[in-house]
Chain A
Amino acid sequence: MDFLTEIRWSPYAVGIGIGILSWLSFLISKKPIACSTTFAKTSGMLERVILGPKVTEKPYYKKIKLNIDWQWMLVIGIIIGSFISALLSGDFQLQWVPSLWAGTFGSSALLRIFVALIGGICLGFGARWADGCTSGHGISGTMQLSLASWISAICFFIGGIITAHIIY
């Protein structure tokens, strides 16, 4: 079982594993692996705590429904699975500033958090606009040969590659 404590696996082993996990997800739960709707549901549920039940009447929340569902649990599972993997290999570390970022922009945690917040706002907004993210469109949709997902995934990378080259 030494492989469980290795820090990194071959990207091909990981990719094949995710592919097989997708078969199981369809067979067991009749659903593709996806993540980003969970953040919209969570956002709506937090808004409901602050502003009351009328939030549920917003057309978008009527469409996606504000509840804890299969995908919500999947996202919680990702946190746990990553934590277990990192712990087993000794790769768990509390870190404020990634090293690539620190090399160019310095080690200020506040600056990094502010930029991550701005990036997160774009990412969350764009994921809802495109109706999916790197998992739902980028992996699960493209493997089903969905046109919407192939176009989205290509645009994720066009936008990402251009922006990353502007930043660095």
Chain B
Amino acid sequence: MFQLTKNKSNKAQLIWGLLIGIVFGFLLQKGGATKYDVIVGQLLLIDHTVLKIMLSAVLTGMLGLYALKARGLIELSLKSGSIGMNVIGGLIFGVGFAILGYCPGTIAGAIGNGYLDALTGGLPGILIGSGLFAAIYPKVKDGVLKAGYYGDITLPRLLKAKDWVVVIPVGILIILILFLLEGSGVM
């Protein structure tokens, strides 16, 4: 019986995953983020659409999540990291991001949008790259991936400050950046 209810809730969660994905994909497409030209335009700094979407998502998300957390309604779900992981991995990702012109989320959206370079080039590439990492993982997991380890720390914990003491200045900073982007005359 327990097994059955557990399975039922797992199945329900798979459907929730699908539904949240559908809304996410719908929003990405409406924002233009499923398009190579928009993403590479952002990296060339001639079109700030991607940054505007990301920063307004982060601002909205942050305020809501920290309010829900303060009321005990949710727990944060944080990733551990290190300099070796996030700086080196981040830079390699960035190189791929510019060469491909899509990222793992937006490539799914690009495929839905009908972009065949995403389906026939980018998707197999991401699968191969992920497989290559799985092959070398035993060689790097206790070395470079642990270099400069800081774990799953948040900025408030790093600064030993109350959540809102960091949330509010970060929110103001994001709004200032958005105003600067709007004033820059670039899309």
In the complex, which residues of chain A have a beta carbon less than 8 angstroms from the beta carbon of B122? 116-117, 119-120, 123
Are the CB atoms of A139 and B26 closer together than 8 Å? no
Q: Which residues of B contact A33 (CB under 8 A)?
A: 20, 24
Residues on B with beta carbons closer than 8 Å to the beta carbon of A72: 17
Whether A147 contacts B155 by the Cβ 8 Å rule is yes
User: Contact partner of A78 among B35, B90, B98, B108, CB < 8 A?
Assistant: B108
Contact of B156 among A15, A145, A155 (CB under 8 A): A145
Residue in A40, A119, A142, A149 whose CB lies within 8 Å of B100? A119
What are 7 A-B residue pairs whose CB atoms fall within 8 Å in the complex?
A14-B33, A33-B20, A82-B110, A93-B114, A127-B129, A129-B85, A161-B94
Separation of A75 and B28 alpha carbons in the complex (Å): 12
Task: Knowing A144-B62, A152-B86 are in contact, say whether A43-B44 is a contact too (CB < 8 A).
Answer: no
Which A residues are in CB contact (< 8 Å) with B152?
A: 146, 148
Q: Interface digits, B82-94 against A, CB 8 Å rule (1 contact, 0 not)? A: 1101111111111
A42–B128 alpha-carbon span in the complex (Å): 10
In angstroms, Cα B103 to Cα A162, docked, is 16
Which A residues lie within 8 Å of B112 (CB)? 78-84, 86
Name the A residues within 8 Å of B29 (CB-CB).
81-82, 85-86, 91
Residues of chain A within 8 A of B82, CB atoms compared: 148
Docked CA distance A142–B23 (Å): 20
- Greatest chain A CB density within 10 A among B25, B107, B120 is at B25
Choice from B17, B128, B166 contacting A74 with Cβ under 8 Å = B17
Asked if residues A77 and B81 are in contact (CB atoms below 8 Å), the reply is: no
User: Range of interface residues on chain A?
Assistant: 35 or more
**How many B residues are at the interface, by size bracket?**
35 or more
CB-based contact B109/A79 at 8 Å: yes
Q: Mark A62-92, 1 if CB is under 8 A from B, else 0.
A: 0100001111111111111111111001011
Q: Are A116 and B24 in contact (CB under 8 A)?
A: no
A 134-148 binary contact with B (CB < 8 Å = 1; else 0): 111111111111111
A8 pairs with B32, CB closer than 8 A: yes
Q: Given A40-B130, A121-B129, A155 and B94 touching (CB < 8 A)?
A: yes
Per CB-CB distance, the 6 closest pairs between chain A and chain B, nearest first, are A120-B125, A77-B21, A159-B94, A19-B60, A148-B81, A155-B90
Asked if A116 and B79 make an inter-chain contact with CB atoms under 8 angstroms apart, the answer reads no
Bound Cα distance from A49 to B79, whole angstroms: 30
Known: A33-B20, A117-B121, A152-B89; 13 extra A-B contacts, CB below 8 A, are A14-B53, A15-B55, A42-B127, A72-B17, A75-B105, A82-B28, A85-B30, A100-B36, A122-B99, A126-B94, A127-B130, A156-B93, A164-B43
Residue B95 contacts which of A11, A23, A159 (CB distance < 8 angstroms)?
A159
Interface residues of A in 87-140 (CB under 8 A from B): 89, 91-101, 109, 112-140
Q: Which residues of B contact A29 (CB under 8 A)?
A: 13, 16-17, 20
CA distance A136 to B21 in the complex (A): 13
Chain A residues within 8 Å of B32, by CB: 8, 11
Residues of A within 8 A of B33 (CB): 14
Compute how far the CA of A157 lies from the CA of B81 in the bound complex, rounded to whole angstroms. Answer: 18
CB neighbours (8 Å) of B115 from chain A are: 95, 98
Please measure, in the bound complex, the distance between the C-alpha atom of A9 and the C-alpha atom of B27, giving whole angstroms: 9
Q: Fill in one digit per residue for B62-75: 1 if any A CB lies within 8 Å of its CB, else 0.
A: 11110010000111
